[in-house]
Amino acid sequence: MSETHNATLPTAVVGRRRRASWALLLPLITAALVGYLGWQAWNERGVTIEVELALGHGVQAGDPVRYRGIDVGSVRAVHLAPGLDRVRLEVSLAPHAADLARTGTAFWVARPQVGPAGVSGLDTLVGPRYLAVLPGSPTAPHQDRFEGLDAPPIVPPFDGGLEVVLTTPSRGGIAAGAPVLFRQLRVGMVTQIALTSDGSAVELRLVIDPYFGELVRAHTRFWETAGIELEADLLNGLSFEFDSLESILTGGIALATPDDHGSRVRNGHRFELETTAPKGWTDWRPDLPLGASLLPAGSLVPRARRAALVWREGGLFGGSDKSKHGWLLRVAGGLLGPADLVRTPEDARSGSARLEVDGRSIPPLPEDAELGLLAEVPDDGPGAAWPDSRLRRPEAPEDALVFGDPASGPRALSAARFTPNEDGTWHVDRSLSIPGDWHGAPVLAREDGALIGLLLVGKDGARVALVAAP
């Protein structure tokens, strides 16, 4: 019976499960890794260009290419060009600097030099030479061969500007990059020196900072200020004068505009360069609106008044003198400015507060006056008032110009630098350094030249308080 039962039981078949062999996967993994490394090397290869120079100045393979103080590539090879009259550099630019390979980009070997901007290239005395670069237009076409420069290019420290031409019988001591001065303040620079087409004279091409463009009129006079003026006197000894250290190194040109200044000039206007300053030029007082060229044609330039709120702090032992400084703008109702500049401070002793403007004392607004961020203090002093028709309250941040200290010129602030606050003001980007003495500076819209607010500068940074709608 048991034998019959055992015969009916199924017999188990034991077999091996087939597994994928790792030996087959290794070639696939290796191929994928090689492909990834090749793709990464392709992306990081950068751009290879050629730069030809008249002289190598000791540059070697492996030396860096630098822009704004950082490495953006390297020199891969140095050899003589065909004809043996030039040096050819094979340069590799990093991927993030590929846009440097465009028409208009300038290359030169950095080395110690004395120029209009001072001494440069001192780092090459203790370190390797490097290839310096100045990019061209980001929209220019790509290029892979460049003619290098023998010296750094002369580039104005500002964009745009008025370009004029001076003619003179000889170059004298003036060099490219020399400063153009107005009352010993730099307002432009010499960008190019060349002979006239017939060789009868020398042409000096000047570019004037856009802020100072209004200074150059049809009757403007230019003269050379190169060198040092020496004067010997038996009683006073030897004395000398010079306009600036730059003018000693590279020469210099001064300009002045008479009261009868004439009309505006356009790019390419020609003037004669004189050898001496015109008599009595220091007494000229032309009424010219600086900064007008940064605004639309026909715009007004605000003439803010320097103001100081002075008071005597109250106290048991007499207190101390305090003051607050800023700017006020004359409007139809008086002087417009920050409320904390035109209102009597809370800690002021009774009757001690006064507002000083243009050498005059004006009573400030009372301490308990209910004011906003801006306020008007009554005043009928001299000067034209800003017209109500040129007031506008914007609905959102926009590009603007801030007219603070006249010596430094207006400051352009893009709309991206402003952040709207709940109180209706625009907070200015904290990364921008706004001087505290710009408190109350007028803010004009770049679009139409309208006054849109005043700058308030405090412990929490700077913000724009918008004017009320007219």
Query: Is 242 contained in some domain?
Result: no
End-of-domain residue from the set 149, 175, 198: 149
Query: Is 41 contained in some domain?
Result: no
- What is the separation of C-alpha 207 from the centre of its chain, rounded to a whole number of angstroms? 16
User: For residue 408, what is the domain's CATH number?
Assistant: 2.40.10
- Report whether 148 contacts 282 (CB < 8 A): no
The pLDDT value given to residue 146: 96
- Report whether 415 contacts 398 (CB < 8 A): yes
- Report whether 12 contacts 51 (CB < 8 A): no
The pLDDT value given to residue 221: 97
Note whether 195 and 145 are same-domain residues.
no
Task: Please say whether the dihedral angle defined by the alpha carbons of residues 297, 182, 411 and 340, taken in this order, is positive or negative.
Answer: negative
End-to-end, the C-alpha distance of the chain in Å comes to 119
- What is the separation of C-alpha 192 from the centre of its chain, rounded to a whole number of angstroms? 22
* Strands 64-67 and 70-80, sheet pairing: antiparallel
CB proximity list for 252: less than 8 A, separation 6 or greater:
174, 178, 179, 180, 181, 224, 225, 226, 243, 244, 246
Query: What is the full per-residue pLDDT of the chain (470 aa) written as tens digits?
Result: 445 555 566 666 655 555 556 666 777 787 778 877 766 666 666 789 999 999 998 899 999 999 988 999 999 999 999 989 999 999 999 988 999 999 999 999 988 765 555 555 555 555 678 999 999 888 899 999 999 998 888 888 777 789 999 999 998 888 888 899 999 889 999 999 999 989 899 999 999 998 888 899 999 999 998 655 555 555 555 555 555 555 555 578 999 999 998 988 999 999 999 999 999 999 998 877 777 777 887 888 899 999 999 998 876 566 788 899 999 999 998 999 999 999 999 888 888 899 999 889 999 999 888 889 999 999 988 888 999 999 999 999 999 999 987 766 788 888 988 999 999 999 998 878 788 889 999 999 999 999 999 999 998 889 999 998 77
CA atoms of 290 and 284, how far apart (whole Å)? 16
The pLDDT value given to residue 46: 76
The pLDDT value given to residue 78: 95
The pLDDT value given to residue 246: 52
Query: Is 237 contained in some domain?
Result: no
Query: Is 156 contained in some domain?
Result: no
3-state SS of 58-104 is CCCCCCEEEECCEEEEEEEEEEECCCCCCEEEEEEECHHHHHHCECC
CA atoms of 426 and 410, how far apart (whole Å)? 18
- DSSP for 105-131 reads -EEEEE--EEETTEEE-THHHHS--EE
Angle at 427 between CA 377 and CA 418, to 5 degrees: 115
Residue matched to tokens 């609905």: 395
- Report whether 214 contacts 263 (CB < 8 A): no
The pLDDT value given to residue 205: 94
The pLDDT value given to residue 113: 65
- Report whether 137 contacts 106 (CB < 8 A): no
CA atoms of 87 and 122, how far apart (whole Å)? 23
Note whether 412 and 340 are same-domain residues.
yes
Note whether 177 and 143 are same-domain residues.
no
The pLDDT value given to residue 35: 76
Query: Is 271 contained in some domain?
Result: yes
The residue type found at 275 is: T
Note whether 127 and 192 are same-domain residues.
no
Query: Is 14 contained in some domain?
Result: no
The pLDDT value given to residue 285: 86
167 CB burial (10 A radius; 0-12, 13-18, 19+):
middle
> What distances in angstroms separate CA 211 from CA 305, 401, 442, one per listed residue?
19, 11, 16
Note whether 453 and 403 are same-domain residues.
yes
Note whether 302 and 272 are same-domain residues.
no
CB proximity list for 362: less than 8 A, separation 6 or greater:
335, 354, 355, 356, 377, 379, 381
CA atoms of 348 and 368, how far apart (whole Å)? 12
Note whether 334 and 205 are same-domain residues.
no
Note whether 395 and 440 are same-domain residues.
yes
Note whether 126 and 273 are same-domain residues.
no
pTM recorded for the entire structure: 0.55
The pLDDT value given to residue 398: 94
End-of-domain residue from the set 127, 149, 171: 149
Query: Is 8 contained in some domain?
Result: no
Q: Which domain holds residue 131?
A: 47-149
Note whether 169 and 144 are same-domain residues.
no
Nearest to 299 by CA among 400, 153, 421: 400
The pLDDT value given to residue 125: 58
Note whether 208 and 350 are same-domain residues.
no
Number of folded domains that form the chain: 3
Map residue 318 onto helix, strand or coil: coil
Note whether 200 and 107 are same-domain residues.
no
End-of-domain residue from the set 124, 149, 174: 149
CA atoms of 294 and 413, how far apart (whole Å)? 12
The pLDDT value given to residue 154: 83
> What distances in angstroms separate CA 445 from CA 110, 161, 401, one per listed residue?
42, 20, 6
The phi, psi pair for 314, rounded to 5°, reads -75, 150
- Report whether 439 contacts 338 (CB < 8 A): yes
CB proximity list for 197: less than 8 A, separation 6 or greater:
none
Query: Is 411 contained in some domain?
Result: yes
